[in-house]
Structure 1
Amino acid sequence: MIQEAKLTVEAGYEAIKTDPFPNRRTMGATHYGANMVERMEPKAIADAVEWMEALRETVGPNYEILVDAHARMDVASAIKAANAIEHVDLVWFEEPTHVENHNSLRQIRENTSVPLCVGERHFTRWDYDEILRDRLVDYIMPDIAWCGGISEIRRIASMAETQYIRVSPHDALGPVAIAASFQASIAIPNLYREECLHTWFETFKKIITPMFDIRNGSIFPNGRPGLGIELIPEAIDEFKIDVDSPEAQPGWWNNYITGDTKKSTGAWATADKD
């Protein structure tokens, strides 16, 4: 993790996201996912604090750090965890609990000063209405492939803008979704940052042309029509997987690319509007 963080800083990215909490996979289960409501043991929270302090020491006092809990804690654990790592100075604490019950967010909101974020599991503007209207979070992360595409993500962003809530499009679905997300981000005035798993970029180079123009942590439009990229059809077959394989099961995708079975760290890029 420390080495990944150093490389991320050196590459010019201005923020980093990590998940320092244990999950069923790290405890030997066959899968983990959004169906979990976990009480975090004191040791788990203590380990997370140690992890976050080491990360802060590595990236320095002014670097932006974000934490993702992947919607797997119960409310009490989320409050304890948020308050335990607050001193690390987080940009946000993402998806601390299940997203279906907004009262959970309300309780966490009332018991911590750590900024909150949700969004990748919300679909269309109606899913966001109560969250934005009641300002239950400080940031949202709609996924362009899940929330309804470029038009819908812009509508959602406009709703958030009226509540002074910033937007960071979610990234997990490959280069076409990322390309669409980048295009939308350039036109979102209340953009925070565009999420990108930069460790995937070497793979993306094999299946799209041209590759994204990312320099010093920022992405620049390439002036091409549409999304600005084309798929390389003959390269796609290499990346087909058996839907019955362990790698294709719910929850496994999260760390599959990096092979990290304990904790994952991702970098963030700024969408340059110029």
Structure 2
Amino acid sequence: MRIVALETLRLNEFPNLLWVRLHTDKGYVGIGETFFGAQAVESYLHESVAPYLLGQDPRDIQRHARALRQYVGFCGTGVEQRGNSAIDLALWDLIGRATGQPLYQALGGRVRTEIPVYNTCAGYRYIRAQPRQAVENWGLPENPSEGPYEDLEAFLTRPDALARDLLAMGIRAMKIWPFDPEAERTNGQFLSLSDLERCLEPFQRIRATVGQEMELLVELHGLWNLPMAVRIARALEPLKPLWIEDPIRSDDLDALATLARVTPIPLALSETLGPRSAFRQLLEQRIPGFILFDLGWCGGLTEARAIAAMAEAYQLPVAPHDCTGPIVFTASVHFSLSIPNSFIQEFVRAFYFGWYQEIVTNLPPFANGLISAPEEAGLGTDLRPELWERSDVHIRISH
């Protein structure tokens, strides 16, 4: 079996998402996906990856993963790493399709048949904004009747009602980020006590309404300096959040280590890191409480398996990041079910019940707060054929 074409597809409606299809001479087609800077990644794939990958056997995934780590782009989550991640997902999808196995089986089988999700409280238009700055530009709806799950607006204005609604769906953990507007207003340098109290209000209202029934996950998007991150963490301690995610930039390990020492709240780190080498340094300093990575950024399933194995050796759980597209989400579910130290899977119900269904033919089954994997071969889903007919589509093929 040989790869005979590399195809990319992107849509103006989703300017940060790029989909990849690898075509083989046996008729199998594998799909991958990545997020952010879609046009730059598209150029990299056709200019640099296609000349290497065309004519290769797609089953040699480890060899391809190593070969694509070239002289640049192998340390972080830049264009090369994001492109390689999408290729890796497509290669694993091909393995599943060619062998007639669901992806979790190709990865070695399931450790569990379903996993709990936490809801990232984004709305329907959250990732369509470019650039993504300030809450006003993150996709607060112009038309609030777009659907019932406008959770970004909900956590800012009625977090107590949102928590009750999530519990009714069986979802017992939720992630919100009310501190971000203040971080952007002050460049992350200062948070006054009065602003701090206002940012704490959504968490306090949730606790007052549903008590300990809901796990609180705090997202800080790496926007704060160390003193303000300490101030936020200490203020949050009485509310007992499950984790604080990316309080400061994840490239400053010493600052992260200092923060980890002064708060009992575990740090969740980090979707912004790349391959296993970056996580090795975090683990060696015993900084994180939870390991997060994105399959569309870290190097795909091949690298994610290595990172998860390292985390397991340090007795740490992993929770794959996904607030991007439906292919990475589906791959993450297969992955989460196949590793022993999976803890919880990120889930955006506004995406799952909204625009994801406009992009793919099938999604992982969800019920009562739990997600399971499709049983069809490979990822168990495909890009909808009507995408190729859209007026805003951009398709490029290397043969």
TM range (shorter): 0.7 to 0.9
SS of 2:271's equivalent in the other structure is coil
**Cα distance change of structure 1 residues 116 and 238 upon mapping to structure 2, 3 Å threshold:** farther
1:25: Cα distance to partner? 8.9
**Cα distance change of structure 1 residues 72 and 236 upon mapping to structure 2, 3 Å threshold:** farther
Q: Which residue of the partner structure matches residue 10 of structure 1?
A: 168
Tell me, in whole angstroms, the C-alpha distance in 2 between the residues paired with 1:150 and 1:211: 18
Q: Deviations over 1:198-217 (max 9, x none)?
A: 11112111221123210111
Q: Which residue of the partner structure matches residue 181 of structure 2?
A: 23
- Corresponding residue to 1:231 among 367, 383, 386: 383
Q: Which residue of the partner structure matches residue 206 of structure 1?
A: 358
1:125: Cα distance to partner? 0.2
1:112: Cα distance to partner? 1.1
Tell me, in whole angstroms, the C-alpha distance in 2 between the residues paired with 1:204 and 1:54: 31
Is the Cα contact below 8 Å between 1:131 and 1:137 reproduced in 2?
yes
Is the Cα contact below 8 Å between 2:317 and 2:342 reproduced in 1?
yes
Q: Is 1:135 matched up with 2:286?
A: yes
Aligned counterparts, 1:257-272, within 5 A: none
1:14: Cα distance to partner? 2.1
Which runs of 5 or more residues in structure 2 are unaligned? 1-154, 395-399
1:26: Cα distance to partner? 7.3
Q: Which amino acid aligns with 1:23?
A: P
SS of 1:231's equivalent in the other structure is coil
Q: Deviations over 1:170-229 (max 9, x none)?
A: 002200110111111111211110101111112111221123210111112221011111
Q: Which amino acid aligns with 2:376?
A: R
Q: Is 1:62 matched up with 2:213?
A: yes
1:151: Cα distance to partner? 1.4
Tell me, in whole angstroms, the C-alpha distance in 1 between the residues paired with 2:218 and 2:321: 14
Q: Which residue of the partner structure matches residue 95 of structure 1?
A: 246
Q: Which residue of the partner structure matches residue 300 of structure 2?
A: 149
1:50: Cα distance to partner? 2.0
SS of 1:17's equivalent in the other structure is strand
Is the Cα contact below 8 Å between 1:207 and 1:236 reproduced in 2?
no
- Corresponding residue to 1:176 among 327, 333, 338: 327
1:240: Cα distance to partner? 5.0
Is the Cα contact below 8 Å between 2:317 and 2:341 reproduced in 1?
yes
Structure 1 moving runs of 4+ over 4 Å: 24-27, 236-242
- Greater mean deviation of Cα atoms: 5-14 or 144-153: 5-14
**Cα distance change of structure 1 residues 237 and 221 upon mapping to structure 2, 3 Å threshold:** same
Q: Which amino acid aligns with 1:146?
A: W
SS of 1:65's equivalent in the other structure is strand
Q: Deviations over 1:123-143 (max 9, x none)?
A: 000010111122101001100
Q: Which amino acid aligns with 1:141?
A: L
SS of 1:9's equivalent in the other structure is helix
Q: Deviations over 1:79-136 (max 9, x none)?
A: 1100101111111011111111101101101211111111100000001011112210
SS of 2:244's equivalent in the other structure is strand
Which runs of 5 or more residues in structure 1 are unaligned? 30-35, 243-274
SS of 1:61's equivalent in the other structure is helix
Q: Computing the radius of gyration over CA atoms, which structure comes out larger, 1 or 2?
A: 2
- Greater mean deviation of Cα atoms: 122-131 or 42-51: 42-51
SS of 2:357's equivalent in the other structure is helix
